[in-house]
Structure 1
């Protein structure tokens, strides 16, 4: 299925034209924009396969930048910070990317098939990049058709989704690393946080949900060079970034839903992390009908 056909299929599912920002029908989501913008320190709570359909995306991991063009795919590991730049194409003035999310169980099953391969270092962003193949194209088409034709059949969708991941595992050797990263304690905690970023999470409750003692969880996170509060704040801010990209809430609403009582404090932390204010992000996605107030 040509890239243009994939884009048309997505538009049939999520609406045409899509709302600017982040549109989602789990496990499929899209990012659509008509304005070039850059965000730093962006993390994903789960593994994402990204396919560029229009425009260009630049992903930077430390000193290495990867420029993704139409038809390029990239596996985004959980809890790894990237700088992201979305650039609309010159002809249409649009940027559009497809994202497929994979949970830890899928990664475990597919990763087990590749457990004799060496894990990758997350320092090399190029190792997560690969090109669309005919088999992968057909598998993605099947996922899209299942969402369009059987929107309530989550089991069927999951089977087709795992088929996509299995093919990706044949095209790239990064799946063992992705599996390992998804099992990290910070990834497990972040996944819990992302389910309800506005909740007043405590380390005692999180440890209980993960089936470990509080002191053990602190040690595990310390071994991964991150603290509980630092991880919680990073997850909340990234959840806020996704909500702002949806374009359905103003800054104050997003701040509250992500656990911040003060919109001005939230805006300051957001700017400090991503290098862009919430208002600037909303303007980048042309959400003019919503308030851009930050205080």
Structure 2
């Protein structure tokens, strides 16, 4: 169970107030687009009964805020629970189970979602002075609230609700990029800024390096053919195999360099059942055995 301090509780309440203008009528159910005419991929989702989506994967990362009820994000048998007013991100390519749980008093689940598609990522990358450090997907998908982030969400909600204003579309896009810029400095920031095909593949594989990825799996997520994806990666000077190996070795190196993880845990996280095979790969990639990496750390 995730814990939130009193400061975060106050900011959650303020955020929910600022986003109230985007709430759908109580009789609505399903997906409610916001700013669709401006090309913004922002939508609300509301249901009046508990529902579960098994083995979901998304081609682009998403930033979500629950307005009513609770969302559970399950990765295997580990769950993260997000109550209303807590922003969180869902990585691209990660196989997860999603559970939407209505509020027990209102009987309603509702959320606001920003899909961080390629144009938004490009805008974000062009504005950043530097990319966030580290390729790994963080253990927690939640984002700590700040006054600036709440204010940015409030500005975006006002612009999206003001659909009749001549400048509302441009202002809404600007406000959403502002939200993503603030998020780029958090632990979940790196997975929001992958732009080119290589980085898109990296973001998907890095999200779950222990999974036995096939090129057809990733091609399907990205909506391209297998041969097209192989050709695009070759043109970029890499290959699907190299990206998978890099993701696994980066994960192994990070875990072996951090306290609290065993060699076995690092091998499992990197997708290796054989410790000897894992040790050979680590030595080739990092110049040291797994044990030496732990000792150096």
TM-score, with length taken from structure 2: 0.58
Q: Is the 8 A contact 1:78 1:181 kept in 2?
A: no
Give the structure 2 partner of residue 71 of structure 1.
Answer: 85
Deviations 1:60-113 (A, max 9, x none): 224432111111111112111211111111111111111112233543554573
Structure 2: state its 5+ residue gaps.
1-12, 35-39, 205-217, 245-297
Find the counterpart in structure 1 of residue 178 from structure 2: 163
Kindly report which structure 2 residues correspond to 1:1-295, keeping only aligned pairs within 5 A, or say none: 2-11=14-23, 15-17=24-26, 19-25=28-34, 26-108=40-122, 110=124, 113=128, 115=130, 117-122=132-137, 124-126=138-140, 128-150=141-163, 153-170=168-185, 172-180=186-194, 183-185=199-201, 189=219, 193=223, 202-203=225-226, 206=228, 212=231, 220-223=239-242
Cα offset, 1:55, TM superposition:
0.7
1:124-172, Cα deviation, whole Å (9 max, x unpaired): 431x2123332112211211222222467543322111001111223x1
Three-state SS of the structure 1 residue aligned to 2:174 is helix
Contact 2:73/2:97 (<8 A) preserved = yes
Task: Count how many residue pairs are aligned between Structure 1 and Structure 2.
Answer: 207
In 2, Cα distance between the equivalents of 1:114 and 1:75?
A: 22
Higher Rg of the two aligned structures:
2
Instruction: Identify the residue that residue 213 of structure 2 maps to in structure 1.
Output: none
Q: Please, which runs of 5 or more residues in structure 1 have no aligned partner?
A: 194-200, 226-295
* In structure 2, C-alpha distance between the alignment counterparts of 1:45 and 1:214, rounded to whole Å: 17
